[in-house]
Structures are given as structure tokens and as C-alpha cells.
Structure 1
């Protein structure tokens, strides 16, 4: 199998670093990268009348200025600082290292060793995005060294990490996506490994695939529910987009009938496989074998 060409699905201005928050009548909080003129979407997930949100407020995201020494490197995207805080790197995901009886993913040990070598004899400062911690209590951050190295970005540039955006944490999305584009084209790190080659949806089995993966197939239907929009590839597989993040995506119906690549983690529910897509950077088009 040989990948000849990979083109990004058009990435318009929704991948910038400014984040705005607003609250609707039922108290639900929403985030976007535009202060006004959010798209209203009808039940089918398509655009309706433009709806400016005058009360949307820009989140005040301040970079940290204090530097800390890293005490422990757990893996390529998780460290512990000298003050005891566990830090999960924002915007990226590196392959897993060995955990108990679970073997390391391809490239996991390389990412960890790169991080150990890079952080040796230096300190880091943290830059927080919209959310300070995750559900595990880990601090979410971009790391910068005393010499202004952006660690998250450099891992992507070296092909040691894939971009993994969790809205509303949208800081440095432009830079991360551009770096990944270049690493993929150069087949650096994970992008040159057969374990991470794109797989046709038609070859999926009921067992699915462990860990982060890339799947290619044709979107044959777009289905909507109250909470999500589903891109259906077959009776056995679909990609899910939560409606609260639709403002970040182009019109979901534009995917219908197209062959696209989706990347992420598979889950199994009610006899079929599903992949949660949190950001448009996890959907690509025109992947040719």
C-alpha cells in the first residue's frame, strides 16, 4: 500500500488562537473562534440563518512566566514537575509506552527518549488554554523551555506526535497542523511507520483496531441526533461529531459522497464501531493509495 498524495480538507479561519465563550437560554456554554456571526444550524446539521452572538466574550488566556524543572517523564506527552503537578501536553498525542502488561506502541519509546533528552538540564514554563485540567486532574498545557523551544510543537515537527485537538483548547492549532502537514509529507517518525498507515474502512473487522488509527472510506450518509452528527461509512462504522463543536467544522453535508480519512480512537457500541471526531483537523480528504 502506498500513499501518493494527502491534501488537507480546506482549513479556513477557524483554526486560530482566540477563543470566545457564550451561554444560550438554557444555560449551555458554547465555545468558538469567532466573536460574532456563529452559524445557526438546523436539525439536519446544515447552516440556517446567521446568528451573531453579541454577548460572546473572549477568554483571557495568559502565558505562564515561572519556570519549573521536570521531575519525571512518563511518556512522550506526560510529565511531572518538581512541584508535583502532572502535566498533559495540549494539542498532541504520542504513542503509548509500555504499561504493566501492555506493550509499547510503535514510536512510543522514541518519543519518551526524545523528551527526556530535550528537557535534560533545562526548565519549562506552562501556557494554559481554555481548560486548566482534564478529568484525571492533570494540568493541560503547552510547554516552553528557557530557550523558547515549544515542546508540543517540536514533537509534531519530528513526527513523534500526532495532532489531537480537544476543544475548546484551540491554542496553537495553526502551528500544530502546519507542522504535522510537513512531517507527514516527509514521512518522519510515525508517518513513515507501517503501523500508522491509513487503513481502508472496508478492511475493518468486528474487533476494530487498538489504539490511535487512520481510516479511509466514503461517507455514504449523514445522520443527526439531538447531541451528535454521524458520518456513516458503512453499516459497521461511523464517525461522530458532537453538535456543540459544529461551529468549528465546515458544513457537515459537504462530506457526503466524498472519500475521506478520519483519525482517532475506535470504540464499539451496539454492534458497530465508532470514532469520535473532535476537530476538523482529524478529517482529511483526497488520500490516494
Structure 2
């Protein structure tokens, strides 16, 4: 497949020059779209000045560099709901991917330390401004919210900025693992500098083995693993008879061999669930673990 245009020898008006440039750009876009999997488009010009664009190379053709990134659409931020959720024009609600900010006060829930600070920072940064959405593998969650990384025209990655300032923690949920390494490094630095929530006693590590009540919200726990067990759906790091850390077997490929945690002390981040007198914390990504010894 190819597109061509002729280069005329007589003078061309500015309007016609603009139209010609537009047609060339349009031809390239149309060609790249129609080719689907074609990775390279070539430009050739013959002795008479005729320019040809094609996916088939010729001896005198040169490859064009095309931007392989998907096109970005800007949306205006209408409202900041909390530290990790915003509403965009048209009523589009977006949950920021890869992070979790503390909850704020609502009719059904008591706010958590750091929640108001995260919301205020995000509101001051985004209210009324335009952001670009970048999706990962899943475009929305079961609440019908869009799942995205937000970027400003300046290039600032908002999800990452929240982590860098200690206003949000990293929570990676496969298959959405884009920017995971970058955000994990940023979180380690924020914790080292005791920024934001990392300086708050509410989020200081607790003993998982001494758990008797279900805490609310995201927390940090220290535990020693006494046994590694596996069932049809989950692998479990056993802390005590009624406390464990669960990893779905479908997520195991992301983790190192679990036996390496046996008889070791670890720090684990996340949310506790309770069934009768049994407590469990589910981990979806290795970033929720820190080996302490």
C-alpha cells in the first residue's frame, strides 16, 4: 500500500502549501492505521519530485519515525473527591491507579489521618485544570470508575507525585503494573525521609500476631512466618493458627519462591479481613512485602 503526491515546479500559494502538508500528514496517519501491525513507513522521492509513502521499502526510500504512543485526550477536572479519586468533565469518575490515599470523612466512614492533606493537595493541583489519562490493562473497576494514571501537560505524573510526597501509598493490583518500579522507589524514599503518612504514628507497624480486632483501613504489620501452605486458589504464609497472609495462585508468578519467607520476619502492607475469629491480609504484588531479616 502506498500514497503519493507530486511536487509542482510552479509557485504555490501559502494556502495550497498548508493543504499539501495537511494531506501528507493525513496520508501518513491513514496509512499507519490501515497497516495495523506495520512497524515502519517509508518515504521515497523520484527524479520528478513525486513523493511516495509506503510500508514497502525501496532502494532510495528512508524510514519515517512515527510516534507509537496512543493519542492523548485532555479532560478538565471538575471535582476532587478525595486523595485518589476525581471527577472529570462529562461526569467521568477516575480512580488513580497504583496508589491509595487515606480516606476522608463521609456519611458512612470516619476519615483517616492524612486523608484531608491528600485531598487538599490534589484539589490545589488539579481543580479546574486539564489532565491526560493513561490507562493500563484494565480501563475500569467494578464501581464503573475509570482506572488511570493522570498527567499534566507539563509532564508531571500525579499518581507518582502523591507517593513522592508521602500523601499516598503504593498499591499495585495486577495486571495493572505500569510504573510499579518507579513508584516503589519513590515510596521507599518518602518513607526514608518520613514524609506525610510515614511520620504518622497511626501508620506505624503493628504486630500481626497480636491482632484481636479488625483494624480499619490500610496498615503496616510485622510478622514472622511459621509455615507456607497452598490450597487450590491461594497460597498462604501462616503467622498463627488464626492469622495468615494470602496470595492468589494466579498472582504467584510475580513473587519470589514463598519458601524464602519461612521463619523470617517481614513487614506487610494492606487491609485486614476477618471471618469469625480468623484474620487474613491479601497481598497482590511483591511491593506489599519487606523482608526484615
1:271 aligns with 2:291: no
Give the equivalent residue in structure 2 for 1:192. 199
**TM-score normalised to the size of structure 1?**
0.76
Give the equivalent residue in structure 1 for 2:157. 150
Give the equivalent residue in structure 2 for 1:88. 95
Give the equivalent residue in structure 2 for 1:131. 138
Q: Distance in 2 between the 1:125 and 1:210 partners?
A: 33
Give the equivalent residue in structure 2 for 1:114. 121
For residues 189-228 of structure 1, the aligned pairs below 5 Å read: 189-205=196-212, 207-228=213-234
Q: Distance in 2 between the 1:121 and 1:101 partners?
A: 28
Deviations along 1:8-59, one digit per CA (max 9) or x if unpaired, are xxxxxxxxxxxxxxxxxxxxxxxxxxxxxxxxxxxxxxxxxxxxxxxxxxxx
1:76 aligns with 2:76: no
1:230 aligns with 2:236: yes
Q: CA deviation at 1:148?
A: 1.1
The correspondence for 1:182, drawn from 186, 189, 195, is: 189
CA contact (8 A) 1:153 1:176 kept: yes
Deviations along 1:183-239, one digit per CA (max 9) or x if unpaired, are 00001000000000000123311x221111111010000010011100011122100
Give the equivalent residue in structure 1 for 2:170. 163
Q: CA deviation at 1:62?
A: 5.5
Give the equivalent residue in structure 2 for 1:97. 104
Q: Distance in 1 between the 2:106 and 2:77 partners?
A: 21
Aligned length: 226
**TM-score normalised to the size of structure 2?**
0.75
CA contact (8 A) 2:79 2:127 kept: no
Give the equivalent residue in structure 1 for 2:291. 285
Q: Distance in 1 between the 2:108 and 2:206 partners?
A: 27
**More relative contact order, 1 or 2 (CA 8 Å, 6+ apart):** 1
1:242 aligns with 2:228: no
Q: Which has the larger radius of gyration?
A: 2
CA contact (8 A) 2:228 2:237 kept: yes
| Greater percentage in helix | 2
Which ranges in structure 2 are unaligned for 5 or more consecutive residues?
A: 1-67
CA contact (8 A) 2:78 2:128 kept: no
Greater displacement, 248-257 / 120-129? 120-129
Pairwise CA RMSD: 1.4
Q: Distance in 2 between the 1:138 and 1:64 partners?
A: 21
Q: CA deviation at 1:152?
A: 0.2
Q: Distance in 2 between the 1:239 and 1:183 partners?
A: 25
Cα distance change of structure 1 residues 134 and 64 upon mapping to structure 2, 3 Å threshold? farther
Q: Distance in 2 between the 1:137 and 1:101 partners?
A: 20
Deviations along 1:70-105, one digit per CA (max 9) or x if unpaired, are 011100000010121110000000000011152210
Q: CA deviation at 1:67?
A: 0.7
Q: CA deviation at 1:179?
A: 0.3
